[in-house]
Chains A and B, each alone.
Chain A
Amino acid sequence: MQLTHRGGSARGKGASQQVNWVTIIWTMTAAAALTLAGVHGFVWLRQKRQMASLMFCLMAASTAGMAGCELWMMNLADMQSYAHALQWYNLMRWLVTLALVGFIHFYLGSGRPWLELTVCGLRTLSLLLNFIFSPMVYYSSINELVHIPFLGTQVTIVEGIPSPLSIVGQLSLLLLAAYLVDATWRSSLRRDKPGALRVGLSAVFFVLALSIQMMFALWGIIDMPIVASLFFTGIIVVMGIELSEDMLRAARLADELRIRESELREERKLTDAIFESAPGMLYLQSATGKMVRWNSQHERVTGFSNSETSQMRAEDFCVEAEREILKEARSIALAKGGNEVEFDLARQDGQMARHFFRMVPVDIGGEPHLVGIGIDVTSQRALAAETEKQREQMAHIARVASVSELSSSLAHEINQPLAIILSNAQAAQRLMAHEQPDLNELREILEDIVTADIRAADVIKRLRSILRQGKPVLESISPPTLFDQALGMAQSDLKEAGVEVTRRHSKKLPTLQADRIPIEQVLLNLIKNACEAMQDNGSREKLLSLSCVNEGTWLRFSVRDNGHGLHGNNQEIFQAFHTTKPNGLGLGLTICQTIIRAHGGNLWCDRNKSHGATFHFQLPIVPENL
């Protein structure tokens, strides 16, 4: 086969010895590709998981190989060597293609596996065909090797009729372009790689450009040597830049991560301090009660060591009887965003301590957890119990006081008829001693004795009913009789104080369902208070007015006086031990309020516009047919 020089003057071997553009460009291309390969190879060695770097390294290294082969081929003169070099070149192409597919696979992670396999398969087929159909698969017949001028120097190219089999190589290139377009598209949709579009599109561009150039060169439309390595170098440069940016980004991320880590460490220190500074136990537990984190107070209170606690559940710290309560409280806390519960904490030494717990749900690692605090309330509960006991004692004292007050006023009531009886009887005795006793006088005396005796018996009956023990007995009472009874009992006080009493109520009032005696006591108490309030009225007439009004669902009783009025605000008046009387216990109104409330009613007071105060109480009207 002849080596033909075409066009221009052939400068022969001598020219190839000179340093020319072709040598410079291809050598530099190979050197740049090798450098990049080295850099990323090094990166891969440091970080074996960076498969994209390995692929890039392979691709860059084989691109350098391609560039070497191309330069070699451009300077060959015989067909034999050319074919030999072309086989090496095809091996490099195969490697480059595979590495490119691999790179996209690992870097973008969005390639369709079947496309990847097809591209690699076609390229492999093309390589195999090339080996089988030696010297060259691209041409069905090769005319000659020709020298053409290229970039100011003479280079060797092949001229011949392209083989139909060469379509396999072209197809693999187009398929590679399609694969790249697809992977880029899918990656850009995912938006996880900011450089995906740049890498993908530039690769597509260079691959398509290469494909076109190859076709033109193959079909002899233009006379050009094979310059595929330049296109792949273009791809490599773009990819290299992208990888470097990735590395820079990674470095930035690493920095940020370090900062975040130190922040997290401080945050952890802070939460640790918060855990420790809590006034009681602070804990974090899983939704099922498994203990996750707790403070040292927890160990101190429960007596269980940290290693024991880590094996325990929250309910293990709870006395057996209350475990279900705790479990329920936990599920409510998880469902409703927080809860509070109180139970006896079972300590390791077998002792118990009442604790109040408050818990709030928090998601940790995607799992619902509860963070909470537990405070020892043993002393508070003991105090509350003590207070309750004292309150009961006070109530007892109040009852005793009201009974003793009552009995002293009743003693007066009883003494009066007794005095009448005694004096009458003794007068009769003395009359009997006379020689002619006046029988009419004696009869009158006896009548008076009977009357006084009945009066005493009534008083005693009332005393007994007041002191009666046990449950309140509801009976139907007509409101006017309540006034009658209360005024009857207060008679001596009213008389002594010189109070003028007026009563005001409509004739048709519904009957009440109530315990008679306590309600009478309330009225009596209010009347007595009114009398005392009017003690210092001086020249002002002492007026007491009682009224009862039907308010629909309520009956309202009012006791109005024109005395000195109220001292202290309305709440204070009804508080136990609030008193304005020099010898008062300050329990009367408190007891009254208790009685009225027990009947489902209300007791309150108003200041009168002119003088004095009015006390009201309401009692519900219960339909009689109920």
Chain B
Amino acid sequence: MKQSETVFLIDDEPALLKALGRLLKAEGFIVEAFESALAFLNAPRHAGSGCIVLDQSMPEMSGMELQQRLVQEDSALAVIFITGNGDIPMSVRAIKAGAVDFLTKPVKDSELLAVIRMALKKSKEMLHSKAEFNEWKQRHAALSKREKEVLVSVAKGLPNKQIAKELGVVEQTIKVHRGRVMSKMGVDSLAQLVIMAERLRLK
């Protein structure tokens, strides 16, 4: 089966870079190999989903440092660490920072491929939720001032009567605002609205 997803390989050992590249190409991945983290950063950024198979111990910039840079950039690329002599504290730190897995050399192909697939899936999800988030942000921006106030109060779980009292209007008005907010934000239920408010940090 042919796959068209991209895998980035970053390792300071050229022979290993070559071997892993062969393996992944044989599986139909698009492989981009870099001999250092800086070389990767200097290359044009990939916009779509994808994953990085990253060597932890490298000169100049370590794998962990690169991962931090990517987190800062809010990148959708999923990171898999691969290391010669990793220890538990190191792997815990990597996973906490969002790495998909922390593998030890030498890695079996089946294991590596499974992790890569998982990572690609995660990358797609990240890309999707990023897009959804941006959509929500735009919709929220389109709300009127009063609608935004009503949205915050509804998300807090206050009843209409109390919201009306706080905003100094009649309950009926609130009901109208609420219906408009739901339709403008494109949600069907109160639960969906609350989750959205949470993601947008509207409290």
A430 near B27: Cβ-Cβ < 8 Å: yes
Report if A426-B23 is in contact (Cβ < 8 Å); known contacts: A412-B85, A415-B105: yes
Cβ of B19 to closest chain A Cβ, rounded Å = 4
Of all chain A residues, which has the CB nearest B28? Answer: A430
B85 touches A411 (CB 8 A): yes
**B98 within 8 Å of A (CB atoms):** no
Q: Is B59 an interface residue (CB 8 A)?
A: yes
Whether A420 contacts B107 by the Cβ 8 Å rule is: no
Asked if B85 and A430 sit within 8 Å, CB to CB, the answer is no
CB-defined interface of A320-356 with B at 8 Å, one 1/0 digit per residue? 0000000000000000000000000000000000000
B30 interface residue per 8 A CB criterion: no
Tell whether A445 pairs with B22 under 8 Å between CB atoms, given A420-B16, A430-B27: yes
Quick one: given A412-B85, A415-B105, A416-B84, are A427 and B16 in contact (CB under 8 Å)?
no
B57 contacts partner chain A, Cβ-Cβ < 8 Å? yes
Give chain B nearest CB distance to A257 CB in angstroms.
92
Question: What is the 8 Å Cβ interface bit string for chain B, positions 59-85, against chain A (1 contact, 0 not)?
Answer: 110100000000000000000000011
Residue in B19, B58, B105 whose beta carbon sits within 8 Å of that of A424 in the complex: B19
Number of interface residues of A (CB under 8 A): 30
**Known pairs A415-B84, A423-B22; A498 contacts B60 (CB<8 A):** yes
Q: List 17 A-B contacts (CB under 8 A).
A: A412-B85, A415-B85, A415-B106, A416-B13, A416-B16, A420-B15, A422-B106, A422-B108, A422-B109, A424-B19, A426-B109, A427-B19, A445-B19, A452-B15, A492-B57, A495-B59, A496-B62
Contact call A498/B59, Cβ cutoff below 8 A? yes
Q: Which residue of A lies closest to B58 (CB)?
A: A496
Q: Decide: A448 and B15 in contact? CB cutoff 8 A.
A: yes
Q: Which of B12, B60, B105 has the most CB of A within 10 A?
A: B105
B18, CB-defined interface residue at 8 Å:
yes
Complex: how many Å from CA A374 to CA B162?
A: 100
Residues of B within 8 A of A422 (CB): 106-109
Judged by a CB distance under 8 angstroms, whether A451 is at the interface is yes
Query: Judging by beta carbons under 8 Å apart, are B107 and A434 in contact?
Result: no
A409 to B84, CA, bound (A): 10
| B26 located at the interface, meaning its Cβ lies under 8 Å from any Cβ of chain A in the complex | yes
For chain A residues 496-526, which have a beta carbon within 8 Å of chain B? 496-498
Given A412-B84, A448-B18, A452-B15, A427 and B26 contact (CB-CB distance below 8 Å): yes
Q: Does A408 contact B (CB under 8 A)?
A: yes
Say whether B107 contacts A423, CB under 8 Å.
yes
What are the 10 tightest A-B residue pairs by CB atom distance, in nearest-first order?
Answer: A419-B105, A427-B22, A423-B19, A419-B106, A426-B109, A427-B23, A430-B26, A422-B106, A424-B19, A412-B85
1-31 of chain B: CB within 8 A of chain A:
12-13, 15-16, 18-20, 22-23, 25-27
Beta-carbon contact of A430 and B23 below 8 Å: yes
The distance in angstroms between the C-alpha atoms of A424 and B62, with both chains bound, is 24
With A452-B15, A492-B57, A496-B58 in contact, is A418–B26 under 8 Å at CB? no
In angstroms, how far is the closest chain A Cβ from the Cβ of B83? 9
Instruction: List A contacts of B25 (CB < 8 A).
Output: 427
**Which of B16, B59, B108 has its CB near the most chain A CB atoms (within 10 A)?**
B16
Flag whether A137 is at the interface (Cβ < 8 A): no
Binding site for A on B (CB under 8 A): 12-13, 15-16, 18-20, 22-23, 25-27, 57-60, 62, 84-85, 104-109
**Residue A98 is within 8 A (CB to CB) of chain B in the complex:** no
B65 to chain A, nearest CB (A): 12
Q: How far is the CA of A434 from the CA of B22 in the complex (A)?
A: 13
Nearest chain A CB to B147 CB, angstrom units:
52
Which of chain A's residues have a CB closer than 8 A to the CB of B18?
A: 424, 448
Q: Which of B57, B58, B106 contacts A423 (CB 8 A)?
A: B106
Task: Write the nearest CB–CB distance from A532 to chain B, whole angstroms.
Answer: 15
- A interface residues (Cβ-Cβ under 8 A, vs B): 408-409, 411-412, 415-416, 418-424, 426-431, 434, 441, 445, 448, 451-452, 492, 495-498
Nearest Cβ on chain B to A359's Cβ, whole angstroms: 63
Q: Are B57 and A416 in contact (CB under 8 A)?
A: no
A377 to B: closest C-beta gap in Å: 50
Give the chain A neighbours of B15 by CB distance below 8 A: 420, 448, 451-452
A457 to B25, CA, bound (A): 29
Q: Give the complex CA separation of A495 and B61 in angstroms.
A: 11
Q: Closest residue to B13 on the A side, CB-wise?
A: A416
Cβ B84 vs Cβ A419 within 8 A:
yes
* Bound CA span A497–B62, Å: 10
Determine how close the nearest CB of chain B comes to the CB of A436; give it in whole angstroms. Answer: 13
| Nearest B residue (CB) for A431 | B26
Q: A441-B22, A497-B59, A498-B59 are in contact. Are A419 and B107 (CB under 8 A)?
A: yes
Name which of B13, B18, B26 has the most chain A CB atoms within 10 A of its CB.
B26
- Point out the residues of chain A lying under 8 angstroms from B20, CB to CB: 423, 427
- Across the interface, B19 reaches (CB within 8 A) one of A448, A492, A496, A498, namely A448
**A456 CB to nearest B CB, Å:** 11
> Knowing that A415-B105, A422-B109, A451-B15 are A-B contacts, what are 20 other residue pairs whose CB atoms are under 8 Å apart, sorted by A's residue number?
A409-B85, A411-B84, A419-B19, A421-B106, A423-B107, A424-B22, A424-B23, A426-B109, A427-B20, A427-B22, A427-B23, A430-B26, A431-B22, A431-B26, A434-B26, A445-B22, A448-B15, A452-B15, A496-B57, A498-B60
Give Cα distance in the complex from A430 to B112, angstroms: 14
Closest chain B residue to A437, Cβ basis: B26
Tell me the complex Cα distance, A408–B85, Å.
8
Q: Which residues of A contact B85 (CB under 8 A)?
A: 408-409, 411-412, 415
A contact residues around B13 at 8 Å (CB) = 416, 420
Contacts of A408 in B (CB 8 A): 85
Shortest B27–chain A CB gap in Å is 6
Q: Are B23 and A496 in contact (CB under 8 A)?
A: no
Contacts known (A426-B108, A426-B109, A496-B59); A419 close to B22, Cβ less than 8 A = no
Q: Determine the chain A residues whose CB is within 8 A of the CB of B105 once the complex forms.
A: 415-416, 418-419
B109 engages A423 (CB within 8 Å): yes
Across the interface, which residues of B come within 8 angstroms of A495, CB to CB?
12, 58-59
Assembly CA distance A431 to B59 (angstroms): 32
- Distance between A582 CB and nearest chain B CB, rounded to angstroms: 13
Q: How far is the CB of A79 from chain B (nearest CB, A)?
A: 150
Complex Cα gap A369–B20 (Å)? 91
Residues of A within 8 Å of B12, CB to CB, are 495
**In the complex, what's the smallest C-beta–C-beta distance from B125 to chain A, in angstroms?**
27
Q: Which residues of B contact A492 (CB under 8 A)?
A: 57
Question: Taking each of A412, A415, A427, A497, which has the highest tally of chain B beta carbons within 10 Å of its own beta carbon?
Answer: A427
Q: Looking at A420, A423, A434, which has the most chain B CB atoms within 10 Å of its CB?
A: A423
Minimum distance in angstroms from A457 CB to a CB of chain B: 15
Most A-side CB within 10 Å, residue of B15, B27, B60, B84 = B15
Cα A427 to Cα B19 in complex, Å, equals 7
Residue numbers in B under 8 Å from A441 (CB-CB): 22
Q: In angstroms, how far is the closest chain A Cβ from the Cβ of B22? A: 4
A422: nearest residue on chain B (CB-CB)? B106
Q: In the assembled complex, which residues on chain B have CB atoms less than 8 Å from the CB atom of A497?
A: 59
